Structure 1
Amino acid sequence: MLLRFRVANHRSLRNEQTLSFVAVPRRGEPKPRAADIPRSVAVTGIYGANASGKSNVLDALRWMNWAVKSSHTKWAPGGGVPRRPFLLDEVGPDTPSFYEIDFLTEGVRYSYGFEVDDDNVRGEWLYSFPAGRPRTLFERNGPEDYRFGRSLGGETARIAKLTRGNALYLSSAASNNHPSLGALYETLVRNVHFAEQDDLDEQDRLSVTMKLLEHPRAARDVNELLRLADLGLESAEVVPSEIPPNMLANFRRVRQVAMESGVNFPGEEQFEKEIRLHRAGTNVTLNIRDESAGTRVWLSMLGYTLVTLLAGHVLVVDEIDSSLHPVLGSTLIRMFKDPEINRNGAQLFFASHDTTLLGTMLDDEILNRDEVWFTEKDASGATTLFSLADFRPRSDENIERGYLQGRYGAVPYLNFDKIREIFREMEPDLDEPSA
C-alpha cells in the first residue's frame, strides 16, 4: 500500500514534488498521531493540461520501480545511470535525481529512497517504523559507504561488496536472496503494475487477460465483466495461432534490445495464442485485432484489474480514459472504491482528462477531494504538483465546472481571438494538401 511518493529532477519535475496517498481527515475526524498508521485512499487521479507533467509523475514512479528491478542485473557495469533529468536549464543534468516512497506492508510502514547522478548512486536509504518509531535498516552515502542497522541481519557486507557503484543496494540484495530485503523488493517491484496506452503495453496487458481466460474459474468472471460492458460481445476464448519462424526470431531480437533499455515489452505468448471474441446473438467470432480500440482496452484492462484487486496490489494507469467510454472508465474507479469488491486494500493511481470523473453526472461523487491532484507547468517548463484538497472546496461545489473554469488552475489557456485572427489573415488561395 502506497502512502507517499517524492521525486525531484525527473523530466519536467525539476523541484521536489510530493504526492500523498493518505486520506485527508473529514470534518470532525481527529487528525492521526505520528505513531498511527495513516489511512490511505484507494484511488488517486491526476489532472492537468496537455504537456503539464501528469504522465511524468507516473513515469517517475515507473522509473523508480525499474531501477530497483533492473539496476543490479541489467545496467551495464561502468555504463552509468540511465536517468531522465530536467533538461530545460543548465542545472538539471548536473544535479542528482531524487526518488523516495513510503509504503505499508505486513502492518509496518517503510520509507525507501535514493539519489543518482549520471554515473553512480549518490545515496540510498531504507527505514522502517515499527510502532511508529523510526529504525534504520541501511544507509548509503556514495557508491561504497554503507551503514547497516542492527535489526537488518543477513549477509549485508557481502552484498555491499557485490553492489556496483551504479546499482542500487536493494536491487543487489534481492538478486542475492537477502530474506527481508527480498520481501520488500517484491512489494515495491512485483506488486505494482503499470499500464500505458500504446500497442506494446496493450499486448502485455492482453497476455495477462489471456492467462485468466485459460483458467476456467477466472474465465467465467472475465467473460461476465465483458458482457456487462455492453460491447455486443458474448465471450472471449484463447485459441492456438501460428507465426512464421523468421518473424518470431526478429521479435525476439527486438524484445531483447527493448528490455535491456528498460522498455516494457510483451512476451512471446502473444504469437503462440490469440484471443477470439464471440459476438452476442450470432455464431460470428473475430480476432481481438479486428475489434475497436475501446473493446481491446477494456479487455486488456480486465486482466490487470482483477489481478490487482484480488492480490491487493497497486495499478498505475496513464490516460485511463483513452478509448474508453466515460461509464467504463468510471466503472474501473468504482471497482477500486467499493469495499465489497476491493477487499484487500488494492490501489489505483491514474492520469486522465475525463472531467466527468470530477462531477456527479455519472454517479454521486466518483472522486473525493483528497483523491484528485493537479499538475501545472511554469514559464521555465517545470511541473508543480498540488492537491484539490488544498483548495478546501465546499461539499456541494461543482468540482468539474470549477476545474474547467480554471478555478484550481491546471487547465490550458487558449486565446480564441488570436485563433480567429490567424484565420482572418490566412491567404485564401493556399494549395490544398496532397492526398
Structure 2
Amino acid sequence: MLLRFRVANHRSIRDEQTLSFVAARRRGAPRQRLTEIPEIVSITGIYGANASGKSNVLDALRWMKWAIQRSQTSWAPNEGVPRRPFLLEEKARSAPSLYEVDFLHEGNRYSYGFEVDDEAVRGEWLFSFPHGRPRRLFDRTGPGENDYDFGRTLTGEIRRIATLTRDNALFLSSAASNNHPLLGALHQQLTTCMQFAGHDFHGERFRLKVIEELLQQPETEQDVNALLRLADLGIERAEVVTSDLPPELEESLEQLHRALSRAAGLRVTPPDTDSLKRRIQLRRAGSDVALPIDEESAGTRAWLSIAGLTLGALRDGSVLVVDEIDSSLHPMLSSSLLRMFKDPEINRHGAQLLFASHDTTLLGTLLAEELLSRDEVWFTQKDPEGATTLFPLTEFHPRRDENVERGYLQGRYGAVPYLNFDMVRKLFQERRATLDEDTA
C-alpha cells in the first residue's frame, strides 16, 4: 500500500514533486498520533491539460519499479543508468534524478528512495518507522562500496552484498538477488504490488495476457465473465481456445532461434509457441458464433483487459496504475471501476487505484454521489519553461457543496488548456481572405 511518492528530474518533472495517498484530515477529527498508520485513500486521480505531465508522473513511478526490479540483473555494467531527465535545461540534464516511495509492508511503514545520474547511483536509503519515528536501515552516499552506513537493526551479509553491488545498480536489487530476507521481501513488495495499464499496443497486449491467464483458472474465469456480462456489451462470455500454428511459421521460428543462438555472445530463449497457439474469443448472447477478440471494438477490449487487472488488484490488495482510464470506455464503465475500489465489501484488502484522465464526469455527481473526494483529486500544469507542477485539489479548499467538475472546466483550479476561439475564427477568416485574393 502506497503512502507517498516523491520524484524530481524525470521527463517533464524538473523540480521535486510529491504525490500523497494519505487522506486529508476531516474537519473536527482528532489529530493523528505519531505512532498511528495514517488513513490511506483507495483512489487517486490526476487531471490536467494535454502534455501537462500527467502520464509522466505515472511513468516516473513505473521507472522506479523497473529500476528496482532490473538494475542489478539487466543494466549493462559499463553503460551507466538509463534514466530520463528533464531535457529542456542544461543544468537539469546533468543533475541527479530523485525517486522515493513511502509504503506499508506487513503493517509497518518504510521509506525507500535513491538518486541517480547518467553514470551511477549517487544515493540510496531505506528507513523504517517503528513507533512513528524514523529508523535508518541503510544509507548509501555514493557509488563506492565504502559509501554505506548501515543501521544496527539491519542484519545479514550486508557488507558482502555491498561489495557485489555495481556502481550503477541499486543495493536493494543486489540484496534481493543475494537472498537477503528483509530486503528481499521489501524488493518483492515494491516490484509486485504495482501493475501498470497502458493503452498503447504493448500495454493492451500485456493486459490481454493477464486476462488469458485469468480465463484459464476456474475461480477467476467466473468473475471475469460476470464483469463482462454486467458491462452490457452484448457479450455472454470470453474463452481461451488453442489452435495449431501453420507448419511454415513454426519452422521459421525454429530457424530464427537457431540462427540467433549461433550468433556470438547471444543467449536466446526458445520461442514460446504454446502461447502463440492460444487466443481469446468472445461469444455473443444468443449466438453460437465466437469472434476473436481482435475483431471486437476498442471499448470491449479495453473493458475486458482492465477488468482483469482490477480483479487481480482487488484480490491481492495491490496498486493498479492506469493511464487514460477513460480511453475507449463509456463514463458509466470507468465510474464503475472507481466504485469497485471505494466499496469496502468489494475492496477488502486495501487495493489502490492511481489513474490519469480527462473524463471530468468522474469529478462530478452525475454518475454517482461524489465518486472522487477532495483528497483524491490532483492536477498537473506546465510552467513557461515546460516543467510540470503537481498539486492537490485540497490546496484550493473547495466548499463541501462546490461543483468540482464545473470549477475545473472553468479554470478555477488551473490545469486546463486555454484556447482563444476568437483567434481560431480569425485564423480561418485570414486564410479565406487569402484564398479569395488568389482566385480574384
Q: Given residue 196 of structure 1, which amino acid in structure 2 is its aligned partner?
A: G
**Residues 62-141 of structure 1 mapped to structure 2, 5 A cutoff:** 62-141=62-141
- Give distance in 2, aligned partners of 1:251 and 1:344: 45
RMSD in angstroms over aligned alpha carbons? 1.9
Map of 1:221 onto structure 2: 223
Show structure 1 runs of 4+ deviating over 6 A. Answer: 249-253, 266-269
User: Is the Cα–Cα contact under 8 Å of residues 203 and 270 in structure 1 kept in the other structure?
Assistant: no
- Give distance in 2, aligned partners of 1:66 and 1:29: 39
Report the CA distance between 1:34 and its aligned residue.
2.5
Q: Given residue 207 of structure 1, which amino acid in structure 2 is its aligned partner?
A: K
Change (3 A) 1:42 1:267: farther
TM-score w.r.t. the length of structure 1 is 0.93
Report the CA distance between 1:215 and its aligned residue.
1.1
TM-score w.r.t. the length of structure 2 is 0.92
Which has the higher mean CA deviation after the structures are superposed, 206-215 or 406-415?
206-215
Q: Given residue 336 of structure 1, which amino acid in structure 2 is its aligned partner?
A: F
User: Is the Cα–Cα contact under 8 Å of residues 204 and 267 in structure 1 kept in the other structure?
Assistant: no
Q: Does 1:39 align with 2:39?
A: yes
- Give distance in 1, aligned partners of 2:256 and 2:187: 30
- Give distance in 2, aligned partners of 1:44 and 1:268: 39
Change (3 A) 1:115 1:251: farther
Q: Does 1:364 align with 2:366?
A: no
User: Is the Cα–Cα contact under 8 Å of residues 207 and 269 in structure 1 kept in the other structure?
Assistant: no
- Give distance in 2, aligned partners of 1:220 and 1:126: 41
- Give distance in 1, aligned partners of 2:241 and 2:420: 53
Please give the secondary structure, in 2, of the residue aligned with 1:426.
helix
Map of 2:285 onto structure 1: 280
Alignment equivalent of 2:397, drawn from 388, 392, 396? 392
Map of 2:233 onto structure 1: 231
Map of 1:263 onto structure 2: none
Report the CA distance between 1:320 and its aligned residue.
0.5
Mark the runs of 5 or more structure 1 residues left unpaired by the alignment.
257-265, 431-435
Deviations 1:139-195 (A, max 9, x none): 101012111111111110111111000000001111111110010011111111011
Q: Given residue 169 of structure 2, which amino acid in structure 1 is its aligned partner?
A: A
Change (3 A) 1:96 1:346: same
Q: Does 1:153 align with 2:155?
A: yes
Which has the higher mean CA deviation after the structures are superposed, 199-208 or 343-352?
199-208
- Give distance in 1, aligned partners of 2:41 and 2:137: 27
Change (3 A) 1:270 1:321: farther
Map of 1:374 onto structure 2: 379
Equivalent pairs: percent with the same residue?
A: 66
Deviations 1:301-349 (A, max 9, x none): 1111111101101111100000000010011111001000000000000
Report the CA distance between 1:204 and its aligned residue.
0.8
Change (3 A) 1:427 1:19: same
Change (3 A) 1:267 1:119: farther
Rg (Cα) greater in structure: 2
Change (3 A) 1:24 1:221: same
Q: Does 1:20 align with 2:17?
A: no
- Give distance in 1, aligned partners of 2:115 and 2:176: 19
- Give distance in 1, aligned partners of 2:319 and 2:13: 22
Report the CA distance between 1:247 and its aligned residue.
6.7
Map of 1:328 onto structure 2: 333
Change (3 A) 1:249 1:318: farther
Map of 2:268 onto structure 1: none
Map of 1:206 onto structure 2: 208
Map of 2:176 onto structure 1: 174
Which has the higher mean CA deviation after the structures are superposed, 118-127 or 302-311?
302-311
User: Is the Cα–Cα contact under 8 Å of residues 68 and 170 in structure 1 kept in the other structure?
Assistant: yes
Q: Given residue 86 of structure 1, which amino acid in structure 2 is its aligned partner?
A: F
Deviations 1:97-146 (A, max 9, x none): 00110001111100000000000000000000012121111110101211
Change (3 A) 1:62 1:414: same
User: Is the Cα–Cα contact under 8 Å of residues 34 and 132 in structure 1 kept in the other structure?
Assistant: yes
User: Is the Cα–Cα contact under 8 Å of residues 207 and 270 in structure 1 kept in the other structure?
Assistant: no
- Give distance in 1, aligned partners of 2:212 and 2:253: 19
Report the CA distance between 1:248 and its aligned residue.
5.0
User: Is the Cα–Cα contact under 8 Å of residues 34 and 131 in structure 2 kept in the other structure?
Assistant: no
Count of residue correspondences = 419
Q: Does 1:414 align with 2:416?
A: no
Mark the runs of 5 or more structure 2 residues left unpaired by the alignment.
262-270, 436-440
Please give the secondary structure, in 2, of the residue aligned with 1:297.
helix
Map of 1:355 onto structure 2: 360
